[in-house]
Amino acid sequence: MSRELSWRMGFAEFDRLVDRRLDEVQRGAALLTAEAVKTGLPRFGLPGTPVDTSFARNSWRVGVNAAPAYGPSRNPNRKAPAPDVSLEPALAVVTAGDEVIIGNHAEYIEPLEYGRSSQAPQGFVRLTVAAFPRIVNAVARRLGVAR
């Protein structure tokens, strides 16, 4: 095998490794961000969605390269919370370069974000967006690709 061919094969393997690690960082950051908005991340000072009936918290959905499929915008039975939907399965397919949309269709999600709840008077989505670089760095450190 010539040195040139060996060199190219080395770069091809390096490219595959980089692509795989980028996918892992993208997937991890998407999952941690969705978790931060939904349930909070105390270590980052992120409160998550305020809870009264759990309808707003359980109404988060994710879409990968498309808008999420939303459920109802209001709780049909105020005494029973909306079923909790795990966001993890939808995010398991995320790769580098994918667009991840995290959304909530609860009719009162915007007032909650802008201080209607004493549980998160400064919001929860805006705080998560501001913390996104820290979230990505935490995922990269956990995967051993950053310090």
pTM of the model: 0.85
> How far is 24 from 21, CA to CA, in rounded Å?
5
CB-based contacts of 134, cutoff 8 Å, min separation 6 = 44
Task: Determine contact, residues 25/113, Cβ cutoff 8 Å.
Answer: no
How confident is the model at residue 145, as a pLDDT?
A: 82
Q: Look at phi and psi of residue 123 and say left if phi exceeds 0, alpha if psi is from -120 to 50, else beta.
A: left
How do the pLDDT tens digits run along the chain, 147 residues long?
556 655 666 777 877 877 898 999 999 999 999 999 999 999 999 999 999 888 999 999 999 999 998 877 888 777 666 778 899 999 999 999 999 999 999 999 999 999 899 999 999 999 999 999 999 999 999 998 877
Domain boundaries, the chain: 3-142
Residue 95, CB half-sphere, CA atoms under 13 Å: how many? 5
pLDDT of residue 90: 92
pLDDT score recorded for residue 18? 79
Residue type for position 33: T
